[in-house]
Homo-oligomer: A and B are copies of this chain.
Amino acid sequence: MRMVRWPMTESAELRAVDAWWRAANYLTVGQIYLRDNPLARGGIAAEQIKPRLLGHWGTSPGLNLLWAHLNRLICQRESEVLFVCGPGHGGPAMVANAWLDGSYSELFPEVGENEPGMARLFRQFSYPGGIPSHAAPETPGSINEGGELGYSLMHAYGAVLDNPDLIAACVIGDGEAETGPLATSWFGNMFVDPSTDGAVLPILHLNGYKIANPTVLARLGQDELVTLIRSHGYEPIVVAGGEDGEAPDAIHSRLATALDTAFDAIAGIQSEARAGRGPARPRWPMIILRTPKGWTGPRVVDRTRVEGTFHSHQLPLPEVREDPDHRALLEQWLSSYEPESLFPDGEISSQLRSLRPNPELRMSASPHAHGGMVSALVKPEIAGYHVPQDRAGEVESTRVFGGWLAEVMKENPQSFRLFGPDEVLSNRLDEVFRVAERSWSGEIVPTDEHLARRGRVIEMLSEHMMQGLLEGYLLTGRHGLLTSYEAFVHIVDSMFNQHAKWLESAAHVPWRGSLASLTYLLSSHVWRQDHNGFSHQDPGFLNVVVNKQADVVRVYLPPDANTLLATMDHAFGTSDLVNVVVSGKQPQPVWLAGEEAQAHVEAGIGIWDWAGNEPRGPATEPGSEPDVVVACAGDVPTYETIAAAQLLREEAPEIAVRVVNVVDLFRLQSSSLHPHGIDDASFDALFTTTRPVIFAFHGYPSLIHQLTYRRANDARIHVHGFKELGTTTTPFDMVHLNDLDRYGLAIDALERVPGGTEAHPGLTEHWQQARDEARSYAYEHGEDPEFILGWRFRATGC
């Protein structure tokens, strides 16, 4: 442990810590209440109070206390610390500390380190045109919004993976601790290797109340709480303060000792592990900090106890503008922090400045948090992984992708991780185990496979956990992939939403660097969950995704192995996006050779001449329009569409059929609405302006209508997709149930081509009979008949 530039005596240190705490508390209260006169010179006038009071006091003094103490440690030890703020509604506290650190004024020069700067700092908070009330992308040092509680500890664990020198100090509110995602993320320590990863220091802040209720953890007996935490693999250090009216500053020496102990324990665990010693699953330190909610704020207001109760959650003094008594209480409250000594002439005192860490170590300026340390991804050439085109073949797309993914992991041994809720093997990505093991600090027994203390794959049966770890990993500048069953990715709808919102907001924050995109590979999808049944059949995540801002979302439905490779190659090269890639794991044809596939993915949408029977020639040439367009997006819909086109080619050959395949779903949207959209002329060249379009879609049909809204004559687009009908049955019966099967598509096409059915009397009935026969056979024999199972693509004669 190095003692660096800190010659202060312990008592001087702790006096500085106390001053910082008071200063940050002052700045927090100021932000919540004042729009002018930040030093309350001559008292506070009603019009200096913000007309709408929007902010949360209750959690803030705890955050400020911890920040002050962590600064002390950072100054002393020159540790790299990331502050993960679970109670993100304590936004004003985060901002206050960043301003005291000096980083706020560096990032926002208009908010200077002086009285006018302080005035601006106060006024802008939670103010129209100002900054959000919660910790947000606009907040220096933050990687965790904390509006939707539950993800702080996952983010912290994700942040320290492969960051051996980083300590993530993760403040967890006792409210947040009640959420499911937080409750399971205590076991994040199962995936940390102390020799190559950093450390998380969880700090459970028990202030006893949520919005209007006590918290569960605060009302366990102390012993029960300590054993609860200990049995998750931690060694809790309990620090309490402010009980029975104890003076606030009495906590400092206890908290300082606790943090010293924790940092020493972390250093001990790491040095043991890095010397090749130590237990596989060390007992990491953590801190339980028990202080009153709204500590140091008004104790009693209008005869109601406020400090230490839920009444301090937002505004201890709600009527400050209207009620002179409340205003007087606010003045007392502010002056209790002794601002004149903290901010002489409105400047930040030298005592406070003494607690500023070296600039690059300030938590409010952590390059880990600001996208300042993004590692470049080494992407191996996909060409070596292409499989031969085989339109009658049977190739598992995800298995092919797995080969390339293994190489990505090998080439980026410290900056790429794969996450899955126990579905990596099931999704046929097992090639990755050639080059990487699964992280596991628990016991390993001979019947286990691919587990190791040091691994690159993380699996736990919690989509929340996988998403949260990946987010934390990406937000601190690394790369990764999350693979999930398609239906169950809905479990993290809300986490996706919040991450997308983070990206949407971060794009407007100039000092935040670009981040690697969050990429999902959704497999075991709706059409091939015939074995697991209805609960596993849901393609609706795409509907959630398309609601986010066009600048941050992309959806891909590669129809085969080579297009999946090209899609992933593209996705891994992007930044600041969410890429959703849906691909099955079941054997199916390889429609396109490697280079064709690459070109198709780049185009994102295209005519597959070989599958249709249009007269040859440029598709856009006048007179070359087909009679019908059959379009498809998704691997199973593509398969059925190709088969439908073949039925039409072979049994109604005079009908000119065009097959359009869509990989990049947003190509369907107008270029005025999405950066990947195409203009109307390009759309019309593909789909014509008048011909019927039979569209076979992977998901809910309405999504295609949503994306093609206001394209020429859009009522001619007839979408077949998931109609929320499913069960345990055969693969063909699944598409049949939802009218997405080849016969259903062919019938629809035939019926919509003028004169189609008249020219082929009985053909509709013939096809109808074929699909009914398939079902009867399946119900009788338990599998699809040979004319379904054995169907193979036959090239057109033309």
Contacts and interface: CB of A to CB of B under 8 A. Distances in A.
A461 B132 contact: no
Contact of A705 (B225, B532, B706): B706
B532 A424 contact: no
A187 B133 CA distance: 31
Nearest to A424: B212
A778 B533 contact: no
Interface in A454-487: 459-462, 464-465, 487
User: Could you tell me the dominant secondary structure of chain A's interface residues?
Assistant: loop
Copies of this protein, total: 2
Given A133-B532, A535-B145, A544-B543, A462 B179 contact: yes
A219 interface: yes
Contact of A134 (B50, B190, B535): B535
B505 A494 contact: no
A179 B180 contact: yes
A219 B442 contact: yes
A309 B447 CA distance: 6
A2 to B, nearest CB: 35
B533 A540 contact: no
Nearest to A127: B782
A497 B537 CA distance: 10
Interface string A603-618: 0000000000000000
Nearest to A231: B228
A715 B708 CA distance: 12
A123 B778 CA distance: 12
Given A51-B783, A547-B540, A547-B543, A179 B728 contact: no
B532 A89 contact: yes
A210 B150 CA distance: 24
A149 B461 CA distance: 9
A371 interface: no
A216 B535 contact: no
Contact of A461 (B175, B308, B504, B729): B175
12 contacts: A54-B531, A88-B535, A128-B778, A147-B536, A175-B422, A178-B462, A210-B461, A213-B422, A219-B443, A220-B231, A227-B230, A310-B449
Interface of A: 35, 50-52, 54, 88-89, 123, 126-134, 136, 145, 147-150, 175-176, 178-185, 187, 190, 210-216, 219-220, 224-225, 227-228, 230-233, 305, 308-310, 422-426, 438, 440, 442-443, 445, 447-449, 451, 459-462, 464-465, 487-488, 490-491, 493-494, 497-498, 501, 504-505, 530-536, 538, 540, 543-544, 546-549, 700, 702, 705-706, 709-710, 715, 724, 727-730, 733, 775, 778-779, 781-783
